[in-house]
Amino acid sequence: MTKNIILRAENLRKAFGGLIAVDDVSIEVQQKTMHAIIGPNGAGKTTLFNLLSGTMPPTKGKVYYKDNEITSLPPHQRAHLGIGRSFQITNIFPNLTVLENVRLAAQALGGDNFRFLSHVGTFGDYIDKAMAVLAQVGLAGQENVYARSLAHGEKRKLELGIMLACDPELLLFDEPTAGMSSEQVPELIEIIKKVVNRKERTAILVEHRMDMVMNISDFITVMSQGNVIAEGTPQEIANNQLVQKAYLGDFYGELL
Ligand SMILES: Nc1ncnc2c1ncn2[C@@H]1O[C@H](COP(=O)(O)OP(=O)(O)OP(=O)(O)O)[C@@H](O)[C@H]1O
Ligand SMILES: [Mg+2]
């Protein structure tokens, strides 16, 4: 793998008709780091996230995972390569229990993983796996609760559990704390930090709020109006005038 770059995007562009949401974006994500992509509203972060996770094809440009081109691979095939993305809440089965949701996710991918070992994982293996994952995401004790009865914050933990059940090497998050109350945010951030470091995984975290990523990221890419306007350590980004200006513009934009 070139210079420990786990994911590389080259000259990505996404146009929606005349609107260019992502305009010639190139990024390199170092293995075993927490890499944040931040920027004001409408900067193109979610669009870039969708190009990286395979939910939509780029108009132009290429995406590489460990030096293999994955530009047109759909999300489920990326999952088999080790790329997990945080699912929308709608991907949770509301009428199944917390445990069943995670067990199914483990099984969905487990079939393939176990094939290499030339035997099929047993039901018990998947339950054990799911229980371990639930402990990691802070849902121990809630195994038998129906997913539909979870509070919003707990559903976000379940989404994370569903992603972890597939044992991803690279985790993609788009605003994981969106819609959570400010008291719930620190706990989820701690869980994310822990699961990313536990197995020395890599994570790409798309986030609107700069304060949230400052103490959790190793490296930050800042987008504004479809372009990368700055890259660097949290310290470098905090002191960057262009970034401050972009956020200030957004601040006034929100007041109007
Ligand atoms: N499916 C779509 N069709 C048309 N325009 C779109 C689509 N998705 C996004 N856009 C436009 O592309 C631009 C970038 O949107 P995007 O959602 O990627 O921004 P963002 O940085 O994620 O913003 P936010 O912080 O609000 O989540 C916006 O102008 C948006 O209106
Ligand atoms: Mg977004």
Tell me the CA–centroid distance for residue 147 and ligand 2, in Å. Answer: 25
Q: Whose CA is nearest to atom 31 of ligand 1?
A: 42
Tokens describing residue 80: 């088999």
- Return the half-sphere exposure (C-beta side, CA atoms, 13 A cut-off) of residue 82: 13
Domain residues of the chain, as ranges? 1-82+169-177+200-256, 90-167
| The pLDDT value given to residue 115 | 44
The enclosing H or E element of 69 equals strand 68-69
Confidence band, pLDDT 50/70/90 cuts, at residue 117:
very low
By most ligand atoms within 8 Å of CB, the mutation choice from 19, 20, 213 for ligand 1 is: 19
Over residues 90-99, the pLDDT tens digits come to: 679 999 999 9
- Please give the Cα distance from 55 to 227 (Å, whole number): 20
Write down the pLDDT at residue 180. Answer: 85
CB crowding 200-213: b at 16 or more within 10 Å, else e: ebbbbbbbbebebb
Strand partners, 37: 206, 221
- Fold classification of 1-82+169-177+200-256 is Rossmann fold (3.40.50)
Tens of pLDDT, residues 44-80: 999 999 999 999 999 999 999 999 999 999 988 898 8
DSSP conformation class of 214: H
- pLDDT of 16 higher than 70: yes
For atom 12 of ligand 1, the residue with the nearest CA is 21
Which amino acid residue places its CA nearest to atom 14 of ligand 1?
44
